[in-house]
């Protein structure tokens, strides 16, 4: 695939008023979410749940793509239509999570490095045949006493760059996700410093690995107070700090930036995105790639009665997509 094709896919991912729905939870992660709403974690329940999400009427009005898990990209609707075909037929780009998750970074207690590079070239070739147009790799940066170390940041960014290079070789757009976790009692200033250092390291590594930035997407965490911080920054402070940090560290050639919700409430994630876009224009589109903030309300409703609440659950998904689509344009208004 040419750089022009990668570039056009990346641009489609951040088309005006559209974002990404992340439904790439591992089986262990979705087990916890299902247990919280009283659902057994069977393969059929996982398949049926993701079918409910992906068959939401008019989902593509505000959703440009969906990140899938290895199990999901191989599954089909109840009628036998492969999920990837269903998505492409409805104007939604299939994506795939390809990392193997964070593991302890040897020699640095409490710090993590994401694994999964072994065999990635072969896995990407298979995912491309299955219909994947983009992929995602998540790195985890923890803020704590003497953390993160420069070694942790650089190790994760080096892995992200190697992953991105393999994606582009396979004709797949890499979504690079260096998540600075909200866990901790740090203030917004510390989050800013760590996020800027991480993004500078990331784009330095991507430059060294000859990544074509025009054919990539950044999935970023917001610059926000730690969950345990006594003084929580307000919506405007988060928006201003996040935009300032991005402008200081992300090249303008990147086609777009999508945010993770990272433990924020549904409304918080939408409000922060909206405030950022009201500050625009920016060098790149700012949109969303939300998981829980897109799904949580719909999952609770669907779990109560899968058949009776199917339509209402889909309406909830559509509403969340619409709200975040408006926020990606700076046009969302809080209900009530």
Task: Fill in the DSSP letter of residue 82.
Answer: B
How far is it, in rounded angstroms, from Cα 187 to Cα 160? 26
How many helices (H) and strands (E) are present in the chain, helices listed first?
12, 10
Q: Just list the catalytic residues.
A: 177, 219
Residue 117 contacts residue 164 (beta carbons within 8 Å): no
Q: Which of 254, 215, 251, 222 is nearest to 237 (CA)?
A: 222
User: Cα-flanking dihedrals φ and ψ of residue 134, to 5°?
Assistant: -145, 165
How far is it, in rounded angstroms, from Cα 247 to Cα 45? 43
CA dihedral 302, 308, 313, 314 (to 10 degrees): 130
How far is it, in rounded angstroms, from Cα 161 to Cα 152? 14
Structure tokens at 239: 């928006």
User: Cα-flanking dihedrals φ and ψ of residue 95, to 5°?
Assistant: -120, 170
How far is it, in rounded angstroms, from Cα 299 to Cα 293? 11
Positive or negative, the Cα torsion across 5, 10, 11, 12? positive
31 burial (CB, 10 Å; 0-12 / 13-18 / 19+) is middle
Q: Cβ of 121: how many Cβ atoms within 10 Å?
A: 12
How far is it, in rounded angstroms, from Cα 134 to Cα 98? 10
112 burial (CB, 10 Å; 0-12 / 13-18 / 19+) is buried
Structure tokens at 124: 């990407």
Residue 286 contacts residue 277 (beta carbons within 8 Å): yes
């Amino acid at each position: 695939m040419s750089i022009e094709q990668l570039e056009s896919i990346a641009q489609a991912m951040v088309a005006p008023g559209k974002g990404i729905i992340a439904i790439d939870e591992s089986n262990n992660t979705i087990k916890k979410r299902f247990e919280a709403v009283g659902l057994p974690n069977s393969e059929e329940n996982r398949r049926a749940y993701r079918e409910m999400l992906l068959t939401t009427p008019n989902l593509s009005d505000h959703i440009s793509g969906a990140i899938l898990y290895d199990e999901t990209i191989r599954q089909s609707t109840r009628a036998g239509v492969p999920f990837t075909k269903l998505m492409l037929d409805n104007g939604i780009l299939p994506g795939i999570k390809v990392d193997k998750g964070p593991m302890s970074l040897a020699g640095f207690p409490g710090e993590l490095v994401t694994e999964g590079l072994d065999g990635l070239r072969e896995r990407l070739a298979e995912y491309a045949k299955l219909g994947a147009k983009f992929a995602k790799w998540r790195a985890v940066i923890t803020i704590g006493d003497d953390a993160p170390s420069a070694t942790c940041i650089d190790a994760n960014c080096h892995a992200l760059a190697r992953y991105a290079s393999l994606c582009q070789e396979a004709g797949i757009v890499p979504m690079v996700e260096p998540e600075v976790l909200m866990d901790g009692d740090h203030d917004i200033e510390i989050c800013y410093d760590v996020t800027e250092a991480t993004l500078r390291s990331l784009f330095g590594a991507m430059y060294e690995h000859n990544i074509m930035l025009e054919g990539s997407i950044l999935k970023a965490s917001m610059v926000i107070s730690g969950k345990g911080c006594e003084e929580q920054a307000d919506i405007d402070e988060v928006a201003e700090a996040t935009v300032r940090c991005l402008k200081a560290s992300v090249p303008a050639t990147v086609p777009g930036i999508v945010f993770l919700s990272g433990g924020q409430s549904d409304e918080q994630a939408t409000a922060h995105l909206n405030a950022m876009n009201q500050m625009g224009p920016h060098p790149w589109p700012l949109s969303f790639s939300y998981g829980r903030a897109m799904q949580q309300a719909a999952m609770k409703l669907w779990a109560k009665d899968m058949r009776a609440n199917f339509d209402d659950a889909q309406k909830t998904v559509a509403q969340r997509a619409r709200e975040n689509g408006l926020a990606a344009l700076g046009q969302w208004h809080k209900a009530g």
